[in-house]
Each structure stands twice: as C-alpha cells, then as structure tokens.
Structure 1
Amino acid sequence: MAESGSEALYLLWIDPAEAAADGLDLHGDGHPLADGLWLVRSGLTRSRLYHRIKWQLPDGAPLLVAPLADTRAGWPKFKGMDAGALAWLRGGGD
C-alpha cells in the first residue's frame, strides 16, 4: 500500500472533542469532509499513518483509518459533506 513512492487514499475519523487545539499533522495532503472526518492522501502505510495520528491524540481517543481506492471508479460516494471534497479527489489535492 504506500511508502513505495506512491500515495494511498485513506478515510480518517477522530472524535472532534479529542482533537488537539492546534490541529493534526495528517502526514499527507488532506481534505475535511465533516467535523473530525477527513480524506487523506499519504505516502505512509495505513499502520504508520494510524500510529502517527494516534500519538497526537489523548490516550483512549477513538480513531479510524481506512484505506480507500484512489481511482475514479473506486472513490467514495457522498453528499452533504464540506465543500470541495469531490474537486479535491479529482485534482489529487488542494
């Protein structure tokens, strides 16, 4: 999955109440979908991204990192999310 010179697409969720006041280092390019919900492109594997995000959160904070297909046919379907998410996917980032 990533770290071979390519980037992977992930869905990241954290409890917004657990987020650091100064924000998260996403270890890649990210776009918010909703409060606490992000699309992230990263060169890290899922495990490495998970642990790097986990270390930024308080102990016991809930966290989800899930890989997504990063092709037009495999993009997630969504509506009612923060503006610009589909354009971000199509453009490969902001």
Structure 2
Amino acid sequence: MDIRNALIAQNYASNLAATKAQPTAGAALTGAAQDFMATLRQSEQAAMTAMTQGGDPHTLVQALAQTELAVQTAVTVRDKVVEAYQEILRMPV
C-alpha cells in the first residue's frame, strides 16, 4: 500500500506542471505587437530628433535599420498566417 501511495504522489508531482496556466498564443502575439509598436515609436522619435534638432545621424540610421527589420518580420509572419489559413480552406470537409 505504501508503494502505491508513493507512486501516486510521484506521478501527481510530475504532472502538476501540466495543470498550471500556460501563456497563450494571444499573449505572445500581444507582446510581439507591443514590441513592434515600441520599435516604430523609437524610430519615429529618432527621425524627428535628427530632422529638427540635428541629432546623431548614426542613431537615425540604426533606428531605421531596426524599423526595416521589424517590418520585414511582421510581413513574414503575416504571410505565414495567410498561408496557413489558405491551407485550412483547402482541407476537405
């Protein structure tokens, strides 16, 4: 009887992590969207500073490169989502 209880307790402890709340895909997408918007805001601020106050051109170029990378990433993710959606539509019912 004691061995059974020990095995049950051990299995319960090993499976306890599966019952905890996991971050959802929606939370991950929200975080990614917020990071994307923050990158765009920083780049816009760097551009405005460079244009109006004679800011550092190196900072402007770096901000524009980060923005370009963020936009390319967003477009790639969008393309993958559209492709997955089209694959779902092609599935036979």
- TM-score scaled to structure 2, two decimals? 0.22
The structure whose residues are more often strand, as a share, is 1
Structure with larger Rg: 2
The structure whose residues are more often helix, as a share, is 2
Higher RCO structure (Cα 8 Å, ≥6 apart) = 1
- TM-score scaled to structure 1, two decimals? 0.22
